[in-house]
Structure 1
């Protein structure tokens, strides 16, 4: 899944369901390698995330650190569901929000109003 948060960060999210939850098979390095190969290069993600209702293998934990992939297991998923906080506040080392610079007042594009731009040509925030 590809998503854009209110701060303009692009997320690539892979969800893995485990029928037996924590007692089932762990999500391994292979899944993380797939996400690592597509999240940034294909989806342009700032944040790569793998989420599961189960657990991650012992090899997946150190591997994700080397490759900047965030993991949300059953415990973290429960913590998120029980709180009123957005997920990015529960994760470590999330990149800072994108800063969108307003156009220079002398620029001809400064007079361009977003309402004049067709919807397909606006960014995720609705700006041209």
Structure 2
């Protein structure tokens, strides 16, 4: 019924719209085709006069139904979500984890990260680093980046390098091997992190473990995007966090 971000399934949402539209259409049609004045002055008034208690119960039930309907519409149209625009990418601050998150903290939904351009995805990761207190955060991805998309310094002064893969499939071992060849040797990374929106293959995971590379798969990325500190998600100790 709900996707991993807590949103109502699009197909179910569409079906609810159709049912609601049909119900409203039927009510309007019956109202237009009946003798409204006779229904009010004769039928309805007679029913109320003969059964006042039942009428009161029906009225309370109708009021409760209207309240529930209003809440359903509010839920379907996503009330309470707000967004801001940065570098032509739309970001929304909506936390769905069980933990309470400051509403002013930058967060992303996974489906938003998936819908971004490659550049937007890299910029979102840079923005999350800045949110977590990293200094000198900079997106450098592009042609000839030699395996680096985002650079930053943590509060301890360590150089953090991110490579951000927004692939639809898990990242393979070949990409991790290339990152290993440049992250430390060429860029001098203290903490090299590769991010895979849809995870990594097992050979890639095994290679990264052997060479002390940090991989952030989908579950970790979701926690980070939903408001948790990067180092808390990855289990990286910090003396000043």
TM-score range (shorter-chain normalised) is 0.5 to 0.7
Match of 1:12 among 140, 157, 161: 161
Q: Could you list the runs of 5+ residues in structure 1 that have no partner in the other structure? A: 19-23, 99-128
Structure-2 separation of matches of 1:97 and 1:44: 21
- For normalisation by structure 2, the TM-score amounts to 0.35
Q: Which has more helix, going by share of residues?
A: 2
Q: How many residues are treated as equivalent by the alignment?
A: 91
Show the counterpart of 1:74: 218
Shift of 1:70: 0.7
With CA pairs under 8 Å and 6+ residues apart, which has the higher RCO, 1 or 2?
1
Query: What root-mean-square deviation, in Å, do the aligned CA atoms of Structure 1 and Structure 2 show?
Result: 1.9
- For normalisation by structure 1, the TM-score amounts to 0.63
Moved over 6 A (4+): none
Structure-2 separation of matches of 1:53 and 1:96: 25
Shift of 1:25: 2.0
Q: Could you list the runs of 5+ residues in structure 2 that have no partner in the other structure? A: 1-149
**Alpha carbons 2:166, 2:196 under 8 Å: kept:** yes
Shift of 1:42: 1.2
Show the counterpart of 1:30: 174
1:88 is the counterpart of 2:237: no
Shift of 1:69: 0.8
Query: Once the two structures are superposed, what CA deviation does each residue of 1:29-75 show, in whole Å capped at 9, x if it has no partner?
Result: 11111111111111111111110211100111111111111111121
